[in-house]
Structure 1
Amino acid sequence: MSGFDLIIFDCDGVLVDSEIIAAQVESRLLTEAGYPISVEEMGERFAGMTWKNILLQVEQEADIPLSASLLDKSEKLLDQRLERSVKIIDGVKFALARLTTQRCICSNSSSQRLDMMLTKVGLKPYFENHIYSAKDLGPDRVKPKPDIFLHGAKQFGVEPDRCLVIEDSTHGVHGARTAGMRVVGFTGASHTYPSHADRLTDAGAETVISRMSDLPAVIAALGEWGGI
């Protein structure tokens, strides 16, 4: 049997161009806290990770005690920036309009942030009620753990090997592959970097695209091939 039964989309950096905004906010906060880091390095190292896990990793690496207040400060600043500035990824509506397979979103962002961003860019109707946040499963179940992907598949009664995931981060690719799903990497958002495609491939993506308008043809082609 060819094709897929469910297409699972990440949100940040795949449907909306939000990772670059997060990198700008978070790099400034970390630099002010004594951990100088550029916007570009934020995108390359931490895209796809929750702010809490970023702070934990920085504390371990640099032995810098980071104030718990940074958690709330970042979330508030980021929500304000996203509500004002987030944009849709070029070609997303074109791709979604041509996909007949059932679909959902599986993201590390909170449900509230997902609702705000998807409403702003006009994507909520394309996914109806099938928008899932890993944070709703529990604080220790975010990507790169596979839990949110397995949760999404379960809502449709679809086996993991019949799912295709669209991801822009190595953490997301690892999570999807651990869940037993096939993955297309995406590098078309503003936070992309020179080795982005190679890193997604190394993490387990079967192919990588930089234009969302190419997605329907890629899904059709992968559906005819058993994968790796």
Structure 2
Amino acid sequence: MPLSLVIFDCDGVLVDSEIVAARVESEMLKEVGIEIAAEELSERFAGLTQARILAALAEQTGVVFPDDFAERVEAENDRRLARVDPIPGVQEMLDRLELPRCICSNSMTGRLKLMLTHVQLWDRFRPYVFSSREVGTKRIKPAPDVYLYACKEFGVEPRSAIVLEDSVHGVAAGVAAGCRVVGFTGAGHTHPGHSEALSDAGAETVIARLSDFPAVVQAFGEWEHA
């Protein structure tokens, strides 16, 4: 089936934000006695919301977080992510794509607008920037709901949409939605075994440079899904 829609995750695909957020969380977790490197946080939790991350850490460590902890982490994340770097080659890659496009992210719309405006991408996607926590069922990835919502908004079958994702949870969401999924390992939080993990989660191929994506989109439009 020919492709009709390109769907991007945002964090770690369009902007190099996953490693920034992981560094903030690593620094602030030390305040409550949890020593965990930013790289480990990225590897274990990339693609999940902060609430999910803190819940998992609380269960694993028994630490009770102060009432204002999550709010302070979010505020520091906003401060640093307001200056986030774009993923290299993102503008040029978008220039080469002709299909309709949108963003499906676990981040809130306010955070997405903050980052995307800074890197001059907001106007290239709006109004088609969908936060899983704010549209449809409001279930976050790895649930497929936000991808299904985007396909419905564009009036396309999921199998005619191609997704670019950097996290295992995001890949799993795209696969569960029935979309074609490409993994991406070109952001600052990539790690040994990243590509294999994305493939194991269901990505049909994995790329490390955004400049390779338009050719993949073209090829997927000609390949039948196995």
> Which bin holds the TM-score, normalised by the shorter protein?
over 0.9
| Identity score, percent | 50
Unaligned runs of 5+ in 1: none
Aligned length: 226
Q: d(CA) in 2 for partners of 1:207 and 1:170?
A: 13
- Out of 121, 131, 145, the position equivalent to 1:147 is 145
Task: Give the alignment's TM-score, normalised by structure 1.
Answer: 0.95
Aligned-residue offset at 1:61: 1.6
- Could you tell me whether the CA contact under 8 Å between 2:136 and 2:149 is conserved in 1? no
**1:207 aligned residue:** 205
Deviation per CA, 1:32-60: give whole Å up to 9, x if none: 21221001101101111100000111112
Matched position secondary structure for 2:133? helix
**2:170 aligned residue:** 172
- Report 1:1-228 matches (<5 A): 1=1, 3-83=2-82, 85-137=83-135, 141-228=139-226
Matched position secondary structure for 1:164? strand
Q: d(CA) in 1 for partners of 2:13 and 2:218?
A: 19
Q: d(CA) in 1 for partners of 2:87 and 2:97?
A: 16
Deviation per CA, 1:38-89: give whole Å up to 9, x if none: 0110110111110000011111222222223221111100000111x30111
Deviation per CA, 1:110-160: give whole Å up to 9, x if none: 101111111110012221310111121389611111111111111101111
- Could you tell me whether the CA contact under 8 Å between 2:106 and 2:132 is conserved in 1? yes
Unaligned runs of 5+ in 2: none
Q: 1:33 to 1:139 in 2, by over 3 A?
A: farther
Give 1:202's aligned amino acid. D
